Structure 1
């Protein structure tokens, strides 16, 4: 069992900013894109009074989230493909994604996010920038294999988009998003030089 979330960790635990970057949340309609265990969505509904839709395409994660947090008011879990869900989604005040966007087709996903945002709505997302082997991010929109270190010490090879900060910003702008701020999140552990980028954007 994981501990209850007391903030949103966009990359590494306790590194970088937390929930506050989402702005005012009480009564806001929010979408968690790639919600996983549902911990962070539950935090927003329980501790900030938000109305949260949490979407994930993993049946196991979806069931785990339902079993743990399905009783909470203002929180709804959806088992769905991200693009399919966004195509018929409500007009959200805030959409956020914690390290899920790199696994999705960036152009199509960003365009779908814009369509699912209310005018002036905010989209906040974090992405991997540099892995522990210090391989630099790509300057082209191509998924590549990356090795992720799991909690149990095992390695998992996945395919994801690890793009430069400027390329993510350009893709967001092309989709109709205004990038308000980009935050660098570095690992506090010198032996693990992984780096992330957090983008704060809004629908232009």
Structure 2
């Protein structure tokens, strides 16, 4: 099975399981770039997004998009490949002003819409081949628009990032259910910077965010980039 098809299937099953649980994540008080409360910055890394069109890449249950619309006045579009994840967001937040949810491949979606003023992905860009995703995001953003990426630096076992642009097998873990195999691009920071630069972005910062428990081995990267002016 092709790499991205494996990921599509995994997130479809994940969404089915969450729908069966009727689980809806709470709307956060602050934009959470990592799973650990109180670690890292908030929405300020996106700049002033009041009244701006913002793309949520892999919007999942939709709670991040709702936070940006309700707290920061953004007009957020969540694009989600998994139909079950999209159903979670659309069924829960359909009436929220300033938010809309679309289902489909982000690369295909961006070919038919006006460029966005900002975009972000919380964990999700690691499931898409960067050679496919980054050119589409460049073309789908206005010149000088920010792109904020939250990505694994180490994997869930604490293994170091890859030093070549290639995916490796990981698991989505969900309590009381079998793990779901995926393929993820868990890349060293210099590789992400090289890729972003190659495809028309300027990297402004890459921060490594650590778990608040010092014994934990998982580390996240937060990449702040900007689409280069034409």
TM-score, scaled relative to structure 2: 0.84
More helix by share: 2
The answer to whether the Cα contact below 8 Å between 1:132 and 1:192 also exists between their aligned partners in 2 is no
User: More deviation in 148-157 or 3-12?
Assistant: 148-157
Gapped regions of structure 1 (runs ≥ 5)? none
SS in 2 for 1:43: helix
Q: CA deviation at 1:25?
A: 1.2
Q: Higher strand proportion, which one?
A: 1
Using the TM superposition, give the Cα deviation of residue 125 of structure 1 relative to its aligned residue in structure 2, in angstroms: 0.7
For the residue of structure 2 that corresponds to 1:114, the secondary structure is helix
The corresponding residue for 1:30 is 54
What residue in structure 1 maps to residue 151 of structure 2? Answer: 127
Asked whether the 8 Å contact 2:138–2:201 carries over to 1, the reply is yes
Q: What is the deviation of 1:152?
A: 4.9
Verify: 1:5 aligned to 2:51, yes or no. Answer: no
**In structure 2, distance between residues paired with 1:151 and 1:19:** 29
Deviation digits for residues 108-161 of structure 1 (CA, Å, limit 9, x no counterpart): 211110101111111111111102422111111111102344355864332110
1:95–1:117 contact (8 Å) kept in structure 2: yes
- SS at 2:65 equivalent: helix
Aligned partner of 2:86 among 59, 62, 67: 62
Separation in structure 1 between the aligned mates of residue 209 and residue 175 of structure 2, nearest angstrom: 20
Report SS of the residue matched to 2:120. strand
Partner Cα distance (2:177, 2:104) in 1: 30
Residue aligned with 1:85, SS: helix
Alpha-carbon distance between aligned partners in 2 of 1:80 and 1:99, rounded to the nearest angstrom: 17
Q: Which moved more, 1:1-10 or 1:96-105?
A: 1-10
**Mapping 1:33-182, distance limit 5 Å:** 33-152=57-176, 155-182=179-206
Give RMSD over aligned pairs.
1.5
**Alignment-derived partner of residue 203 in structure 1:** 227
Q: Distance in 2 between matches of 1:155 and 1:192?
A: 20
Distance in 1 of aligned mates of 2:70 and 2:56: 14
Change (3 A) 1:24 1:6: same
CA distance in structure 2 between the partners assigned to 1:30 and 1:100 by the alignment: 16
